[in-house]
Amino acid sequence: MRERYVVINGSINGKELSVSTKENPERKFQTETHTVIGKAAGDFQNQQKIQKNDREQRLAGIYYNRGRNAGCKPEHQ
């Protein structure tokens, strides 16, 4: 899709026509849509990384605490 397009103004009955270029409004909409979709995808990927790191930290904490308490004798019997 082209970013710009040609607009021809004037009449055909012998008068000179003026020609100008304008931005394609569909291109602007398409770019905005891709930006929104790209941001949503990036947010989703970041959330997935955060959840993965949280899981890894929880597991590391569980194994760390098991190792610390493995050799301990109970204080009260």
When comparing pLDDT for 70 and 30, which is higher?
A: 30
- Whether the per-residue pLDDT at 51 is higher than 60: the answer is yes
* Domain, as residue range, for 13: 4-70
Please report which confidence band the pLDDT of residue 37 belongs to, taking 50, 70 and 90 as the band edges.
confident
State how many domains the chain has.
Answer: 1
Position 77 in a domain: no
Element of type H or E holding 8: strand 4-9
Asked if the model's pLDDT at residue 29 lies above 80, the reply is no
Does 75 map to a domain?
A: no
**What pLDDT does residue 69 have?**
62
Cβ contact 41:26 at 8 Å:
no
- Please answer whether residues 18 and 9 qualify as being in contact, where contact means their C-beta atoms are separated by less than 8 angstroms: yes
pTM listed for this prediction: 0.39
Give domain status of residue 76, yes or no: no
> Contact, 38 vs 46, CB < 8 A?
no
The size of the chain, in residues, is 77
